[in-house]
Amino acid sequence: MTSLINKARVKNKAKNVFSSPWAAFFAWVIAILWTIPTFGLLVSSIRPEQDINTSGWWMFFVQPNVSFENYRQVLFEGSTTNPPLYQFFFNSLAVTLPAVIFPITLAVFAAYSLAWFEFKGRDFIFFSIFALQVIPLQLALVPLLQLFAKGLVLGDVTLIPDFDITGTYIPIWIAHTIFGLPMAIFLLHNFLRQIPRELIEAARVDGAGWFTLFSKIVLPLSVPAIASFAIFQFLWVWNDLLVGLTFGGGAKEVAPMTVRLAEMVGTRGSGWELLTAGAFVSIIVPLVVFFALQRYFVRGLLAGSVKG
């Protein structure tokens, strides 16, 4: 009884501390400081080229010259070597959406079986998957690239043939799916383990099979965890440069928008007005995704952190 009272006191004390006016003040200060660079990016993107090259973005409030020429040029004007940015925008969508759907689909079935099926070696498999999160993806780039380009041959035996998929979206989808699966399975497994066992057993007594149980009970209850991972994976894939550049094979037809933005930087730091406009275009979709799914974000992020 005493321990419960002490826990309640600690909880109330922590609640009072984090709900105090000082806590709100510091939260607003951090939010403002965090937003200033993005706000400066937005302001710079709507300033004329001459103003950007001669003064800082804060001078916009002294000389408020507004022009959307930067967006027109970066979105609809290409060059002899690069198409307009809107094509890369659709390339990023074509890369990101499947690269989010594939790992979620595989992970939800794997997490369901690891969480509720009893079989030998289940814990070993789960901890092995968890351990894969510490492996840097850079270590897998060269082996995967060789696998996609040449297949897998041991001696005179061809285990995996060359499917001739270099320069297509398929290697990028596979790479992002492989790199995202450990985190997805770990997050979903912890969430599914929180489902009351009595609920599962009652459904089994009523005659529900494992697939019916999954589709009618487990999957609807897993929406917060799925949405939380979808945010992580979407932001990671959308903002990725390394995987898209490595497995895209240098083809402009499949290159994501980050590749084009990196090319805009150049070697001499010119073209700031186009770079700021292109960078702000690239963050619009992640912002929409985050704010659309943010109510699930914390619930899914804390999956498995509390038991009882």
Asked if the model's pLDDT at residue 293 lies above 80, the reply is: no
CA dihedral 222, 223, 228, 229 (to 10 degrees): 70
What are the backbone angles phi and psi of residue 167, rounded to the nearest 5°?
85, 10
Q: What is the C-alpha to C-alpha distance for residues 84 and 88, in angstroms, rounded to an integer?
A: 7
pLDDT digits 0-9 by tens, 4-42: 455 445 445 545 545 677 778 888 889 888 888 888 888
- Mean pLDDT score, 252-257: 86
Which distant-in-sequence residues (6+ apart) come within 8 Å of 84 by Cβ? 74, 75, 76, 77, 78
pTM, full prediction: 0.79
pLDDT in tens, 168-191: 899 899 999 988 998 889 888 888
* Cβ within 8 Å of residue 117, ≥6 positions away: 210
Nearest to 180 by CA among 57, 289, 98: 98
- Distance spanning both ends of the chain, measured CA to CA: 17
Q: Are 285 and 91 in contact (CB under 8 A)?
A: no
DSSP string, 81-107: SS--HHHHHHHHHHHHHHHHHHHHHHH
The whole-number pLDDT of residue 306 equals: 47
CA 138 to chain centre: 17
Q: Is 140 exposed, middle or buried (0-12, 13-18, 19+ CB in 10 A)?
A: middle
Rg (CA), the chain: 25
Question: pLDDT-derived band of residue 269, with 50, 70 and 90 as boundaries?
Answer: low
Calpha distance 286→256 (Å, rounded): 14
% of the chain beyond a pLDDT of 70: 86
Q: CA-to-CA distance for 189 and 201, rounded, in angstroms? A: 18
Helix 85-116, helix 272-301: angle, nearest 10: 20
